[in-house]
Amino acid sequence: MCEENINAAPKRVLSCIQPSGMLTLGNYLGALKNWVAMQEEFDCTFAVADLHAITVRQEPAALRSQIYSTYAILLALGIDPEKNTVFIQSHVPEHTALSWLLSCNTQFGEMSRMTQFKDKSAKHPENVNVGLFSYPVLMAADILLYKPDFVPVGADQKQHLEIARDIAIRFNNKYGDIFTVPEPYIPKAGARIMSLQDPAKKMSKSDDNQNSWVAILDSKDDIIRKFKRAVTDSDAVVRMADDKPGISNLITIYSAVTDKTVAEVEREFEGKGYGDFKLAVGEAVADTLAPIKQRYDEIIKDKKALETLYKEGAQKAEYVARKTYFKAMKKVGFVL
Ligand code: TYM
C-alpha cells in the first residue's frame, strides 16, 4: 500500500431502508448484504427511513414495532453500531429541514417522471399525498447531509439516486461547493430480485401474495415451501435465459447466496430437474438467513439496549448532519 492510501480517510457510505413490514430476501441481496460487507472498508452511516414509510398509510402500533424490528435486523445482520453510525431517520430533524431547501431547488416536472411515484400512486389512488410526490427530495436530503461517496442500493433505487445527484450538482453550482455528488453502488448479482409468483414483478414486502416473497425472518420450513411453489417454466432445464424469467430469478438468488457464478450453478444442476433445484435454492437461502434470525430473536428481546444504541446513533448522525445543514442554510442566505 502506498503512503497516500495509508493516510487517506476512508471513503464514506450512506444508505437507508424503510421499516414498512417485513424485510425481504430482495432487501438483503440487493442492499443489506453490501452494507455488511462495506463496513469493513468504509466509514458507514445506515438509517431506518421511518419518515418515508408514512407516504403510504401505516397503523401507528405496527409502524412502531416495525421501526424497532428493522433496527434490530440491521444489528442481527452484523452491522456494528460502534464502528458505524446506525440511527432512525426521524431522530435527526435536519433530514426534513434540508429537504425543504432542496424542494425549493427541484422542479415539479422532474419529480413527476419518477417511476416509483407513478407505481405507488396507481396502487393507492385514494392516497396520492404530497409526501409521496416529494419522497425523492427527502431521500436526497438523507444522502446529501452525510456527504457519502457511495450509496449501496438495489436497482429500483437508481432513478432516485440520479435525481439526488442532479439536485446536488444544481445546488453546488448555484450556492458553492456544499454537497458531495454520490455514486450508486449496485451489486452485480441480486440488484433486482423478482417475485417468486410473478417474475415480471420485483420481490416486495407490499405484495399481498405471501408466497411471492421471502422474509429475512421466515422459518426454514416457510422458506423451503415458498421456493417449492415458485413459478418456473415447462422445459425443466436450469439455465439463465430471457424467456425463462422464473428460473433465471432462482439462479440469481442461488448464485448470490452461495457466491457461485451463473455458469457454476448451471453446471451443478445439469441433468437435474426443477424439483431438486428449487429445494437446493430454498435450503441455501434458509441456511444463510437462519443465523440472522437467531441473533434477531435475542436482540429484539432487549428494548432498553436497542434504545441506548439508536440514541447514540442519532447523536453521531446529527453531529455530521448539522454541519452540512447549517452550511447549506448559510450559503442560501439565511441569518444564523
Ligand atoms: P426500500 O426500503 O424499499 O428497500 C431497501 C433496499 O432494498 C433494495 N431492494 C431490493 N433489491 C433487490 N431486489 C429487490 N426485490 C429489492 N427490494 C428492495 C432497495 O433498492 C433498497 O436499496 N427509498 C429507499 C429508502 C431510502 C434510501 C434513502 C436509500 C430512503 N432514503 C437514502 C438510500 C439512500 C427505499 O424505499 O428502499
In the chain the domains, ranked by start, together with CATH numbers, are: 3-186+303-332 (3.40.50.620), 210-298 (1.10.240.10)
The predicted structure's pLDDT at residue 4: 47
Q: Give the distance (Å) from ligand 1 centre to CA of residue 271.
A: 37
**Pocket around ligand 1: residues whose beta carbon is below 6 Å from it?**
15-18, 26-27, 29-31, 49, 52, 139, 142-143, 151, 153-154, 156-157, 160, 191-193, 202-203
* Mean pLDDT computed over 35-39: 96
Mean pLDDT over each residue of the chain, to the nearest integer: 95
Looking at the predicted structure, is the pLDDT value of residue 27 above 80? yes
* Mean pLDDT computed over 6-25: 89
The answer to whether the CB of 49 falls within 8 A of the CB of 241 is no
Percent of the chain past pLDDT 90, that is, above it, reads 91
* Mean pLDDT computed over 46-75: 97
Which is it for strands 150-152 and 183-185: parallel, antiparallel or unpaired? parallel
Q: Exposed (0-12), middle (13-18) or buried (19+): which is 222, by Cβ within 10 Å? A: middle
pTM of the model: 0.95
Active-site pick, 33, 147, 202, 278: 202
The predicted structure's pLDDT at residue 195: 98
The predicted structure's pLDDT at residue 3: 43
The yes-or-no answer on residue 301 being catalytic is no
Q: Give the distance (Å) from ligand 1 centre to CA of residue 52.
A: 11
* Mean pLDDT computed over 194-213: 94
Active-site pick, 120, 147, 226, 278: 120
Give residue-wise pLDDT tens across range 135-164: 999 999 999 999 999 999 999 999 999 999
Give residue-wise pLDDT tens across range 286-322: 999 999 999 999 999 999 999 999 999 999 999 999 9
Residue whose CA lies nearest to ligand 1 atom number 22 = 153
The yes-or-no answer on residue 293 being catalytic is no
Q: Which residues of 5-16 are buried (b: 16+ CB within 10 A; e: fewer)?
A: eeeeeeebbbbb
Q: Give the distance (Å) from ligand 1 centre to CA of residue 269.
A: 32
The predicted structure's pLDDT at residue 11: 96
| Integer Cα distance of 197 and 228 in angstroms | 11
Residue whose CA lies nearest to ligand 1 atom number 20 = 154
From the alpha carbon of 154, which atom of ligand 1 is closest?
A: 20
Looking at the predicted structure, is the pLDDT value of residue 7 above 80? no
Active-site pick, 205, 260, 293, 331: 205
The predicted structure's pLDDT at residue 174: 97
* Mean pLDDT computed over 196-217: 94
Q: Which of 16, 77, 111 to mutate to test the pocket of ligand 1 (most atoms within 8 A of CB)?
A: 16
Looking at the predicted structure, is the pLDDT value of residue 5 above 60? no
From the alpha carbon of 193, which atom of ligand 1 is closest?
A: 13
The predicted structure's pLDDT at residue 234: 87
- Tell me the three cell numbers of residue 163: 435525481
Amino acid, res. 273: G
Q: Give the distance (Å) from ligand 1 centre to CA of residue 242.
A: 25
Residue 31: which of 68, 79, 65 has the closest Cα?
79
What confidence tier does 120 reach under pLDDT thresholds 50, 70, 90? Answer: confident
Looking at the predicted structure, is the pLDDT value of residue 235 above 90? no
Q: Give the distance (Å) from ligand 1 centre to CA of residue 18.
A: 7
What confidence tier does 8 reach under pLDDT thresholds 50, 70, 90? Answer: confident
Q: Give the distance (Å) from ligand 1 centre to CA of residue 155.
A: 9
* Mean pLDDT computed over 231-260: 95
- Tell me the three cell numbers of residue 67: 421501526
